[in-house]
Amino acid sequence: MKLYSLTLIEAEKLIQKKDVKPLEIVESVMERINEVEDRIKAYITLTFDVATENPGIPVAVKDNICTKGIKTTCASKILYNFVPPYDATVIKKLKEKNYALIGKTNLDEFAMGSSTENSAFFTTRNPWDLDRVPGGSSGGSAACVAADMCIAALGSDTGGSIRQPASFCGVVGLKPTYGRVSRYGLVAFASSLDQIGPITKTVKDAAYLLEIISGKDEMDSTSAPVKVERFTEALTGEISGLKIALPKEYFSEGLDPEVKESVLSAVRMLEAEGAFVEEVSLPHTEYAISTYYIVAPAEASSNLARYDGVKYGYRAEKYEDLIDMYFKTRSQGFGDEVKRRIMLGTYSLASGYYDAYYLRAKKVRTLIRQDFEKVFERFDVIITPTSPTAAFKIGERVSDPLTMYLSDIFTVSANLVGIPAISIPCGLTEQGLPIGLQVMGNFFDEKTILNVAYRLETMIDFRKRYSPKL
């Protein structure tokens, strides 16, 4: 076995037993990156020097998470030269475990997108089919894990940005409960929705990495004062008596038949193991995308107001006065998708439109949350497809923003509500593309969704049966 193909848990055990030195794993991953990165283009910044100076298990980090002394660009021209003077809390926690940063990964600019085609620098490609997208916005991190160009990675999830690329790339992606993981040092997109989480090769790795990055943080007022649990200990695989809800709205028109059958086949496996399955309704699901695309752009328009060319980042070279400098800096520094969302958000917050759009969206968000709370009164988990389709071709949806936005139709609700959700691979399409299954759980009940995902992973055995042919 090549060392770069190790899982996080496997690497930890080999190092503890002194069978392998951390530097050997780092060098193996570096060799793998040199072998395939030019085809996939997953990294914005490689940090081989950092990883070899202080060797540890090599992890990749999405380039919207601040790293002291290392560029954090958010894949945007406006932050092309920004070097943070501090580490995000999750980076500090990784360093405490002696993990080594191998590089900063590509993303849709400011995490706004579902394909990693909105990066200001380049498009990342899916390791399973280089003509297809890896998903987004954490497409770089998912592609790195799938291609063994790191042992594990961190991403951020605002409306599915960990789970959807994990689905497209055939890896595991976990969005924790809002507040479970500190957002300090995560460059804000939509503050009430953003959450950092792991992208890994296995469910056990996701559980272990979540243990490391979780916890209350005094630097983040939205981090929750909840106990850091031993999530790996919950992975018993015992699911007899488990109550599973299948929301009919997630299995209706628009869902690819191959995706539907693959997910339902996995559910039948759980049912055969003694789980109880019942169809339910989440009646306000049809409004989730509309609600998300009012709330998220509104928060983004506020968060991105700080990028004005005055304090840091890109500044237009030629301008007549201060207002002209603001205008030209933001026009030249932001990409089309970011400008689109800033304008949408500013419009919905404007006087005369606030009540009609933003306030109404907040009310619908409450209704969506109440739908989920009612289901969790009777059920342990909700299982759905992660995405309505497998990975689509590069360029296929660039000119159709609405179709692109619908890529997140099954994932945005978990962010609007704040509950945990995990995506695992459950099969392949006839074209050989991974299909993702999503397990959603009640607030701070990551243990249950991880255990269900672990049981499915054991039965499906996806990683041993399938891999990208690079």
Q: What is the pLDDT of residue 1?
A: 77
Q: Where are the beta strands (DSSP E) in 190-321?
A: 195-200, 243-247, 276-280
Of the residues 137, 167, 301, 423, only one is catalytic, namely 137
Confidence category of residue 33, pLDDT binned at 50, 70, 90? very high
Confidence category of residue 263, pLDDT binned at 50, 70, 90? very high
Q: How many domains does the chain have?
A: 1
- pLDDT at residue 138 greater than cutoff 80: yes
In a domain, 336, yes or no: no
Confidence category of residue 165, pLDDT binned at 50, 70, 90? very high
Residues of the chain with pLDDT > 70: what percent?
100
Q: 175 has which bridge partners? A: 421
Domain that holds residue 434: 3-240+420-465
Q: Does the global pTM surpass 0.95?
A: yes
Of the residues 28, 115, 156, 161, only one is catalytic, namely 161
In a domain, 429, yes or no: yes
SS (H, E, C) 308-338: CCCCCCCCCCCCCCHHHHHHHHHHHHCCHHH
Phi, psi angles (nearest 5°) of residue 111: 65, 25
Residue 21 appears among annotated catalytic residues: no
In a domain, 230, yes or no: yes
Distance CA 166, CA 140 (A): 10
Q: What is the pLDDT of residue 406?
A: 76
In a domain, 216, yes or no: yes
Distance CA 287, CA 302 (A): 23
pLDDT tens figures, 106-136? 999 999 999 999 999 999 999 999 999 999 9
Of the residues 41, 62, 77, 175, only one is catalytic, namely 62
In a domain, 410, yes or no: no
- pLDDT at residue 276 greater than cutoff 80: yes
Question: What tokens were used for 171?
Answer: 């890896």
Helix (H) or strand (E) holding 439: strand 434-441
Distance CA 109, CA 64 (A): 9
Mean pLDDT, rounded, for 244-255: 94
pLDDT tens figures, 307-317? 999 988 999 99
Query: What is the residue-averaged pLDDT of the chain?
Result: 96
In a domain, 25, yes or no: yes
User: Quick check: 72 and 106 in contact, CB under 8 A?
Assistant: no
Nearest to 151 by CA among 214, 84, 97: 97
Confidence category of residue 366, pLDDT binned at 50, 70, 90? very high
Distance CA 213, CA 180 (A): 9
pLDDT tens figures, 218-229? 999 999 999 999
- pLDDT at residue 9 greater than cutoff 90: yes
Mean pLDDT, rounded, for 139-144: 98
- pLDDT at residue 23 greater than cutoff 90: yes
Q: What is the pLDDT of residue 353?
A: 85
DSSP state of 86: S
pLDDT tens figures, 54-91? 999 999 999 999 999 999 999 999 999 999 999 999 99
Mean pLDDT, rounded, for 11-38: 98
| The length of the chain, given as a count of residues | 470
Q: 157 has which bridge partners? A: 195
Q: What is the pLDDT of residue 217?
A: 98
Residue 92 appears among annotated catalytic residues: no
Helix (H) or strand (E) holding 172: strand 172-175
DSSP state of 188: P
In a domain, 400, yes or no: no
Confidence category of residue 356, pLDDT binned at 50, 70, 90? confident
- pLDDT at residue 424 greater than cutoff 80: yes
In a domain, 193, yes or no: yes
Q: What is the pLDDT of residue 218?
A: 97
- pLDDT at residue 351 greater than cutoff 80: no
Confidence category of residue 400, pLDDT binned at 50, 70, 90? confident
Alpha-carbon dihedral angle through residues 299, 300, 305, 310, given to the nearest 10 degrees: 140
User: Quick check: 76 and 306 in contact, CB under 8 A?
Assistant: no
Residue 161 appears among annotated catalytic residues: yes
- pLDDT at residue 402 greater than cutoff 90: no
| CATH label of the domain that carries residue 146 | 3.90.1300.10
Q: What is the pLDDT of residue 347?
A: 93
Phi, psi angles (nearest 5°) of residue 256: -60, 130
